[in-house]
Amino acid sequence: MTVYLLCILLFLIGLYGVVAKRNLIKIVIGLAIMEYSVNLFLILVGYVKGGTAPILSRNLANKVFVDPLPQAMVLTAIVIGLATTSLLLAIAIRLYRKYKTFDIREIKNLKG
Amino acid sequence: MDWFVPLFVIVPLGGAFLIAIIGSFARPFGRFFTSLVLASLIGLTLYVIFSVTIPIVYMVGGHGPIEKVPIGITMILDGLSVYLLLIINLIGFFSAFYSISYMKKFTSENYYYTLFCLMVAGMNGVVLSGDVFNLYVFLEMAAISSYALVAFGIEKEELEASFKYQVLGGASSLFILLGIAFLYWNTSTLNIADISRVIGTTANSATANSEFVKFVGVILLAGFGLKAAMIPFHAWLPDAHSSAPSPISSMLSGVLIKAIGVYVIFRLFFNMFTISYDTALVITTIGTLSMVIGVLLAIGQWDIKRLLAYHSISQMGYVVIGVGIGMLVIAHNGPRSVAALSIAGGLYHLFNHAVFKGLLFLNAGAVEYETGIRDMKKLGGLSSLMPVTTSTSLGASMSISGIPPFNGFFSKLIIIIAAIQAGYYVLSILAVFVSIITLASFLKVQRFTFFNKPNEKWNRGDFNVREVPFAMCFSMVFLAVLCLGLSLFIVPAVRDIFITPAVNVLLNSAVYSTGVLGY
């Protein structure tokens, strides 16, 4: 149970980073932390105590396997996360070139 | 007879690929190929509506269920999916055709059309997919291409809006993924129909399970509510929708928030979770808040596209309360005819909103294309110079504010009648009230943009305002004709072809699960 709570704590740390930080790069890092915590949670969901990789072979000593489906899902989620993070960083660099700062308090053309 | 189901995703995906490859040799290729792709998808959708019996369950790669456990990816084409496919591809076609002229002033057009096709592929995938993780993947595909499209102008405002949109969109995606992880944890399956079966069989026996359903419901509602920009989660929408290029604004406001936000909420809360009074109440409350606060925020805006974006929030509120009232009536075991009427009103308004809001954004784009100005205080007197834009925008404005011969009137009327029949008098009064404020706000748009005293600078030097090119006029005129033509949905014979299958999917929510699983 503790490990699940720690996982949720990691999610909340990431959320804190997104909500409270004023630096574009730190916000991106916060989102990345949130993403890792969700991936970790998915792996934990599929984990079975004492399980091995689910590969069928002739003489199996250990009949306990971990669930492979969440692992496949995490692989997909990592690829998606790569796309979002790289796009975010690309936009952050473009913003830096336009405004000469990473501070979101200085970047506020849009409001109302 | 189900070979055509994956084509809805494959054709735009392949289109995106071809445009990226061939477009680098032949520049105008993407411009026309995108319209061709979308036109063929409209044809396919109409073929499905008129000559195929739905629902169709398509197993990707032929991986059928083994010992009654669904193991493969399923694509499900039922009434609601077809209805959404028609909306996505119709608005997509007109936006793509409009882009032929509008996007000429941008460099690297081919990236634009590649992303456009990817976004359409993602949205088509979302409405077809039958399991939650696949839905998440398609949703991210549509969302990531929309982030890039919002930033397409790469000026200060576009980049800022895109960053804001990406941070909130990314957070919402992670909430959705977390919800999916919880669902898999407790039900050990990802198939929507199978999840519904597991929840349905165990919810009554164990109280812990119903607590779990509520918890996951809240996480998913937060995630998809952010995607749909319902009111507590709306902060990104006005920035993103007003900064994007106009055809993309019309896609985002007209289609994206419906296909990856509102549609998924309806699908999951009707067909996956068992309908309960609590969730129905929450959804209806969010809808009411969106409807009222959205219009109050809109009335003070002077930027045309920002005003239209706030109206999107408000009009989506109508859709959500329409379906939400239906959900409340079902939860109460009330009369099914009232629930059916209410859901039909909501879904009818979904289509209408896609058409008239798409058209209004295209009009705003036409004004911006000719004058380069979006601030209504600096515009005025364009009616004599741009007759097509003016008349189509007049039609769309009357439609959104509910003037009788146009489609918006009928859908709002149905929602209000259903609210009165179901006994929610306050909601019906609020709906009328919001409609009146909408009318006032669009009178402002018409007067300050098109009918005020002509600005003398329009005919001089660098302005030289005239009517927009053919491709843009074509899209606007056809959407304006649709604004009138969709009024025909009020005729029962037409309604039975288009809306009734979609309503039945939501109304007989338990049938979905047995229909897909086959037992």
**Interface ipTM:** 0.94
The domain locations on chain A are 2-48+65-110
Q: Given an 8 Å threshold on Cβ–Cβ distance, is A11 in contact with B156?
A: no
HSE toward the beta carbon, residue B26, CA cutoff 13 A: 9
Q: Is residue B329 part of a domain?
A: yes
CATH architecture, domain defined by A2-48+65-110: Orthogonal Bundle (1.10)
What letter would DSSP give residue B77? Answer: E
| Residue of A41, A87, A95 lying closest to B160 (CB–CB) | A95
Residues 6 or more apart in contact with residue A21 via CB below 8 angstroms: A27, A30
Q: Given an 8 Å threshold on Cβ–Cβ distance, is A109 in contact with B156?
A: yes
Q: Given an 8 Å threshold on Cβ–Cβ distance, is B159 in contact with A18?
A: no
Q: Is residue B170 part of a domain?
A: no
Do the beta carbons of residue B123 and residue B260 sit within 8 Å? yes
- Tell me which of A31, A79, A87 to substitute to probe the interface with B (most B C-beta atoms closer than 10 Å): A87
Domain ranges, residue B415: 275-519
User: Which one-letter amino acid corresponds to residue B3?
Assistant: W
Do the beta carbons of residue B119 and residue B142 sit within 8 Å? yes
Q: Given an 8 Å threshold on Cβ–Cβ distance, is B306 in contact with A38?
A: no
User: Which one-letter amino acid corresponds to residue B283?
Assistant: I
| Residue of B151, B161, B300 lying closest to A110 (CB–CB) | B161
Contact residues on chain B for A38, CB-CB shorter than 8 A:
174, 177-178, 181
Residues 6 or more apart in contact with residue B129 via CB below 8 angstroms: B73, B74, B75, B76, B135, B138
Q: Given 3-state DSSP classes, what are the helix, strand and coil percentages for chain B, each rounded to the nearest 5? A: 80, 5, 20
Residues 6 or more apart in contact with residue B32 via CB below 8 angstroms: B100
Q: Give the Cα separation of B388 and A98 in Å (integer).
A: 37
Contact residues on chain B for A42, CB-CB shorter than 8 A:
177, 181, 184
Q: Given an 8 Å threshold on Cβ–Cβ distance, is B163 in contact with A109?
A: no
Q: Given an 8 Å threshold on Cβ–Cβ distance, is A76 in contact with B306?
A: no
**Number of domains chain B is built from:** 1
CA distance A18 to chain B (A): 8
Q: Is residue B63 part of a domain?
A: no
- Residue pLDDT tens, chain B, 519 long: 678 899 999 999 999 999 999 988 888 888 899 999 999 999 999 999 998 887 888 888 888 888 778 888 889 998 999 999 999 999 999 999 999 999 888 888 889 999 999 999 999 999 999 889 999 999 999 999 999 999 998 888 899 999 999 999 999 999 999 999 999 988 888 999 888 888 877 655 555 567 888 889 999 999 999 999 998 888 899 999 999 999 999 999 999 999 999 999 999 999 888 888 888 999 999 999 999 999 999 988 899 999 999 999 999 999 999 999 999 999 888 899 999 999 999 999 999 999 999 999 999 999 999 888 888 888 878 888 888 999 999 999 999 998 888 999 999 999 999 999 999 999 999 999 999 999 999 999 999 888 877 776 776 666 677 788 899 999 999 999 999 999 998 888 988 889 999 999 988 877 888 877 776
Q: Give the Cα separation of B487 and B484 in Å (integer).
A: 6
Which of 80-99 (A) contact B at CB < 8 A?
A: 80, 83-84, 87-88, 91-92, 94-95, 98-99
Q: Is residue B146 part of a domain?
A: no
The CB density around residue B388, as the number of other CB atoms within 10 Å, is: 17
**Widest CA span in chain A:** 68
Closest Cα to residue B358, out of B242, B243, B247? B247
Which of 8-37 (A) contact B at CB < 8 A?
A: 11, 15, 18, 24, 27, 31, 34-35
Closest Cα to residue B59, out of B180, B183, B191? B191
CA distance B46 to chain A (A): 33
Q: Given an 8 Å threshold on Cβ–Cβ distance, is B156 in contact with A88?
A: no
